[in-house]
Amino acid sequence: MPRRSPPSGPSIEVLRLGHRPGRDPRLTTHLALAARALGAERLWLHPPDPAIADRLEAVARRWGGRFSVEGCVDWRGMIRRFDGVVVHLTMYGRPLPALLPKLRRARRLLAVVGGAKVPADVYRLAHLNVAVGPQPHSEVAGLALLLYALHGLPGPERWAGAQQRIVPSARGKRVRRAR
Amino acid sequence: MPRRSPPSGPSIEVLRLGHRPGRDPRLTTHLALAARALGAERLWLHPPDPAIADRLEAVARRWGGRFSVEGCVDWRGMIRRFDGVVVHLTMYGRPLPALLPKLRRARRLLAVVGGAKVPADVYRLAHLNVAVGPQPHSEVAGLALLLYALHGLPGPERWAGAQQRIVPSARGKRVRRAR
């Protein structure tokens, strides 16, 4: 840990409930950045927030890959119709390690992340309620650990089309332009 | 007298730079929750913010353990005087996997997390600049992955003195009072 792994395992989308447009957007932005950096394909936001979609589109244009943020109005319908395994991340759920083998076998996975005031029926609508740990820990941390457990860190091929990339260095910031 | 075997890996404190008191406190609260849940001993906040310290004290009272949030005014002095390895988390740094063996051997570790506008001299003051990945990814996610890589999830003995604990369940929320 962290390790790179081949892109085996499910393709992952994230559904974020309880976003609050008009409040400080940093928390949802961080959730979106973590989702993208750790290999999710898409973040669905309920309620929709075009400002965050635009911000992440700018990130993807600069740093590569195809991640997008989409609005979701009918989140219950989306969960019901999702063509794969729906995993609700909650500290009240069953421990992740026991469920990992099952999750890794899925073809598609929808990770639902809420926050303190998630509607109670999420627990019933999701196929699995999964805990990264039985302590309050932030949905950003929970999502990061789930994605990492499923996929490891994405390799550089994930970031095709980037305008720039980081050259890892011991001191300071080194960035190389694509051309 | 039998002693507990020493915990493997370093004891970890976190220094959060660039906190903005008065703005939405959720992001720093999430960072603090992730630090606590994943086994850090303490979060230092620059600039100090007693409201967040109080909030985390309430969390620790309820959910156990001894995590605390402390204010830090002279963060450069703290880094210089820290009696252990100072690791600055940045997407521009060297990849974590290569540095993990060294970090695991440390007795004490200070993880410095900034944000987009971290002062440039952090890169020089820290002993190591470490990247969880070369993509923008949120300091909450970065810290969670670093802590997880160093320690895994803390066991239940970490949460001594809790007023309540979660009983993991497939549906809904189950909580057991201590007495």
User: Which pLDDT band, with edges at 50, 70 and 90, does A22 fall under?
Assistant: confident
% of residues, chain B, pLDDT over 70: 94
| B139-162 mean pLDDT | 95
Q: How many Å separate Cα A28 from the centre of its chain?
A: 11
Chain A residues with CB inside 8 Å of B168's CB? 92-95, 131, 134
Pairing of strands A175-177, A164-166: antiparallel
- How close A84 comes to chain B (CA, Å)? 18
Specify the pLDDT at position B8. 73
Q: Best mutation site among B43, B140, B163 for testing chain A: the one with the most A CBs within 10 Å?
A: B140
Specify the pLDDT at position B9. 84
First CA to last CA across chain A, in angstroms?
32
User: What ipTM describes this predicted complex?
Assistant: 0.94
Specify the pLDDT at position B21. 85
Specify the pLDDT at position B116. 64
Specify the pLDDT at position B46. 95
The answer to whether residue B7 scores a pLDDT higher than 80 is: no
User: Which pLDDT band, with edges at 50, 70 and 90, does A38 fall under?
Assistant: very high
| B24-35 mean pLDDT | 94
| A149-159 mean pLDDT | 94
Two structure tokens written together for B28:
């720093």
The answer to whether residue B131 scores a pLDDT higher than 60 is: yes
| B117-122 mean pLDDT | 91
Pairing of strands B175-177, A164-166: unpaired
B145 and A145 within 8 Å at the Cβ level: the answer is yes
A27 and B31 within 8 Å at the Cβ level: the answer is no
Summary mean pLDDT of chain B: 93
Which residues lie across from B111 on neighbouring strands? B14, B87
Beta-carbon contacts of residue B162 (< 8 Å; ≥ 6 apart) = B62, B63, B64, B65, B178
% of residues, chain B, pLDDT over 90: 87
A138 and B144 within 8 Å at the Cβ level: the answer is yes
| B41-52 mean pLDDT | 96
Chain B residues with CB inside 8 Å of A24's CB? 23-24, 26-27
Specify the pLDDT at position B6. 45
Chain B residues with CB inside 8 Å of A38's CB? 133, 137, 141
Chain B residues with CB inside 8 Å of A1's CB? 97, 100, 145, 148-149
B140 and A135 within 8 Å at the Cβ level: the answer is no
Specify the pLDDT at position B78. 98
The answer to whether residue A125 scores a pLDDT higher than 80 is: yes
Rounded CA separation A96/A89 (Å)? 9
A140 and B141 within 8 Å at the Cβ level: the answer is yes
Closest-approach residue (CA) in chain A for B150: A1
Tens-place pLDDT, residues A74-118:
999 999 999 999 999 999 999 999 999 999 999 999 999 986 688
CA separation (Å) from A143 to A3, B71, B79, B170? 17, 28, 30, 18
CA separation (Å) from B56 to A28, A140, B24, B86, B154? 21, 17, 16, 24, 18
| A27-39 mean pLDDT | 97
| B79-102 mean pLDDT | 97
Closest-approach residue (CA) in chain B for A138: B30
Q: Are B148 and B103 in contact (CB under 8 A)?
A: no
Q: What does pTM read for this prediction?
A: 0.94
Specify the pLDDT at position A20. 87
The answer to whether residue B1 scores a pLDDT higher than 80 is: no
